[in-house]
Amino acid sequence: MTEIMLRDATTAHGLRHVILRYFNVAGADPLGRTGQSTKAATHLIKVAAETALGLRPKMDVFGTDYPTRDGTCIRDYIHVSDLVAAHADALLYLRRGGASTTLNCGYGRGFSVLEVIETVKRVSGVDFKVEFAARRAGDPARLVAACDLVRSTLKWQPRFDDLRTIVNHALAGAQATKTAPWLRVRRPPLKQSLMLATSGAWTASASTRGWQDEPGPFAVAGLLALVLASGGHGTSSAPPQPLLQKPQLIPAQPELRNSMAEPIKRR
């Protein structure tokens, strides 16, 4: 419905837009400030992380007879910070006069449910309980993004395209909200998050001038997710911190603490 409304607005009023279609968003803030805090979350990596940390007694796998390599569903998982960066890149694209477009946000490759669970077990060092259940109605066997267009159009370069890294950050985020629930609301302001997402390419003053001096109507579908993730339109005089700074968290398992110090794999 949102896509239809945006395209109608483009036809009627010349509103240029970028529609970002999210695939399976996972992970957490690499600096350890926030993580997904949804109660009774259903996302696979979040559920597995909570089970590894003892917040759930077990987790279920729904269906083991799909036409995939191990019989479980395959999904394309994208790190939340890479998705934030895609929003920032989409805004820059529109500000520079880019035409309306629809883009898939994913990495173009998928992992099965069992592969994700095994990765969480290896990273956390916890062999948590997994039970198998019947298929859920409507679950397709495989969903993987065709994402060449988002890279070529926005010049988007993901930095966390690695399942182990996504799991590291998801576990750290779940651990943070487990031991310190107030971290759920400690969010950075929008401009600082945009600077983090673009590796400090802007200064606060430059980003403000750049957004104000270039007129023209535009919209980014999914921008609300960026605003919510960053905590609103606050301001900050502090310089942006390095995006790859190690989170200052103490994980529950020694194996997790060691794995968080490993360098991010580049693909």
Residue 17 has pLDDT above 70, yes or no: yes
Least confident interval from 27-31, 118-122, 195-199, 219-223: 195-199
- If one looks up domain 2-260 in CATH, what number appears? 3.90.25.10
State the CB neighbour count (10 A cutoff) for residue 205: 9
pLDDT in tens, 128-186: 999 999 999 999 999 999 999 999 999 999 999 999 999 999 999 888 877 655 444 44
Domain ranges of the chain: 2-260
From 208, 209, 206, 215, select the one nearest 234 (Cα to Cα).
Answer: 208
Give phi and psi for 108, each to the nearest 5.
85, 10
What pTM was computed for the model?
A: 0.69
> DSSP string covering 205-265, please?
HHHHHHHHHS---EEEETHHHHHHHHTSS----SPPPPTTPPP----SSHHHHHHHTSPPP
Long-range pairs, 134-141, Cβ under 8 A, ≥24: 134/62, 134/63, 135/62, 135/63, 135/65, 135/66, 136/62, 136/63, 139/62, 139/63, 139/73, 140/73, 141/66, 141/67, 141/68, 141/73, 141/74
Helix (H) or strand (E) holding 167: helix 163-179
**What gap in Å lies between CA 178 and CA 83, rounded to an integer?**
24
Are residues 40 and 182 in contact, defined by beta-carbon separation less than 8 angstroms? no
pLDDT in tens, 147-162: 999 999 999 999 999 9
User: Which pair of tokens denotes residue 116?
Assistant: 């994700």
